[in-house]
Structure 1
Amino acid sequence: MWKGSHLRPVIHDLRKGDHPIPQRLVGLLVIISLFGIGHHIDHIIRGNHVGWPLTSEINAFTFSLLSYPFITLGLYLGWRDRAGIPYWTGLFFVSSLLIGYVHFGPSAIEPPADIITVYENALVGWFAFAWVVGFTIVLVTGLVYSSLLLIRQSKGAAITSSRGE
């Protein structure tokens, strides 16, 4: 019988702090996902730089949609102790590079003007741009946090191996 019995150990582990995916990292993933969904909705509202599955064009929009299955896969594998901090560090690194290159790089495909000037109301355009900046900040925060966890994890492994444990 289901009755949530499979989730109880996961919730219990999260409360104790013994779960393979740190609770703060899960919180960052939720915030990142909300920012990502909001940014994709903004693309659809603006109607520019939208790609497959809404148009026939394969572009950065299409590739950025892959972040959701990668987050889901990472959570699934992480809760089974098969994907750890290196997975999240890699995902945050690639995602930060993608959003940085696409929106802020010297040869940006979708520069800030493509976000701000599309809206009739400049305030809405600036809000959409601030959303992208916030999204980028949260992604980089995830990268820094997971990198620090990775360094701490590797130092812990080095100490354990030097003790002969």
Structure 2
Amino acid sequence: MFLYSPLRSAQGSDLVLQMIVFPLLTLSGLFIWKGHVIRTWLRNSQLTGEKLPRRLFFLVFFVFLFGLGHHIDHVIRGNHVGWPLIPAVNAFTFSLLAYPFVGLGLYLGWRNRAGVRYWTVLFFVLATMVITQHFGPTANEPPADVIGPYESQLLGSVAFSWLLLFTVVIVAALLYSGVLWLRRRDNERTQAKTGGS
């Protein structure tokens, strides 16, 4: 499609191919080859036990994936970027802190030191940041700034659709982790009352 379609002449299409399409093809090939090992590890891992249920783990993965794609989109567009790409420290720079916090949450979950409460708070912060930056009344980076820099309307629409999916996944992860947190808190209170009486 890249070689024989008009996408080849679109601005940034070669970068999208190099930074998104080829890595995803590589990862999907590795998953086809070694997917059974990953599935076995997930079944036996503490990450899918009491501290981090399997569904929440996959939501964390998709938040990471969509967030990475959105940051790559920033680089391709060349607008609303900050340190380490340029000297200015701005919202882009602070949004990169999400990745260490995701890694920390996975590590602490593996060590049984962080549960759904950690993810609920993290997803709340991320959802607030994404929604206020892109869709709020005082949005610093409104949809026009995502679509506009692309010469191709198609690539601009793809970038904006990616942002919408990113937002939906974060909100879904927030709601799911919040419900789990409330249920576990209610269960703990019920057990405490039952044990005390």
- Normalising to structure 2: TM-score of the pair? 0.76
Higher helix fraction: Structure 1 or Structure 2?
2
Aligned counterparts, 1:1-165, within 5 A = 11-14=42-45, 18-164=49-195
Percent identity over the alignment?
51
Q: 1:14 Cα deviation (Å)?
A: 3.8
CA 1:163–1:19: 2 relative to 1, 3 Å: closer
Question: Deviation string for 1:8-51 (max 9, x for gaps)?
Answer: x9645349x53421111110111111101100000000000000
Q: 1:123 Cα deviation (Å)?
A: 1.1
CA RMSD of aligned residues (A): 2.0
3-state secondary structure, aligned to 2:195: coil
3-state secondary structure, aligned to 1:164: helix
User: Structure 2: how far apart are the matches of 1:121 and 1:11?
Assistant: 41
3-state secondary structure, aligned to 1:163: helix
Gaps spanning 5+ residues in structure 1: where?
1-6
The residue type paired with residue 58 of structure 2 is: G
The residue type paired with residue 55 of structure 1 is: I
Runs of 4+ in 1 over 6 A off after TM superposition: none
The residue type paired with residue 176 of structure 2 is: Y
User: Structure 2: how far apart are the matches of 1:96 and 1:26?
Assistant: 17
